[in-house]
Structure 1
Amino acid sequence: MASEEGSEQLEEAGKMSVPSRHDVFDIFRDHIETWGETPGQAGKRERLKASIWYLLPPTLLAIVLAIWRVCIMNLTPFLTGLTVFTALLFGLLILIFNTGVSLQKDKASLENAHNVAKMIADLRANISYTAMVAVTLVMVLVLAIAMNPASQPIPWGWTIPLAWLGVHLLLNLLNIVSGLRRAFRNITT
Structure 2
Amino acid sequence: MRPLRYSINTTLDGCCHHEAGLPPDDESMAWWTERARRVDVMLLGRVTYAMMAEVWRRPADGRWPGWMGEREVRFAEALDAVPKTVFSRTLPAADWNAELVRDDVVGTVRRLKEQPGGPLSVSGVRLPVALAAAGLVDEYEFLVHPLVAGHGPTLLAGLPQRVPLELVDRQELRSGVVAQLYRPVSPRAPRSS
Give the TM-score normalised by the residue count of structure 1: 0.23
Q: Compare CA radii of gyration and give the structure with the larger one.
A: 1
Q: Specify which structure has the higher proportion of helix.
A: 1
Q: Provide the TM-score with structure 2 as the length reference.
A: 0.22
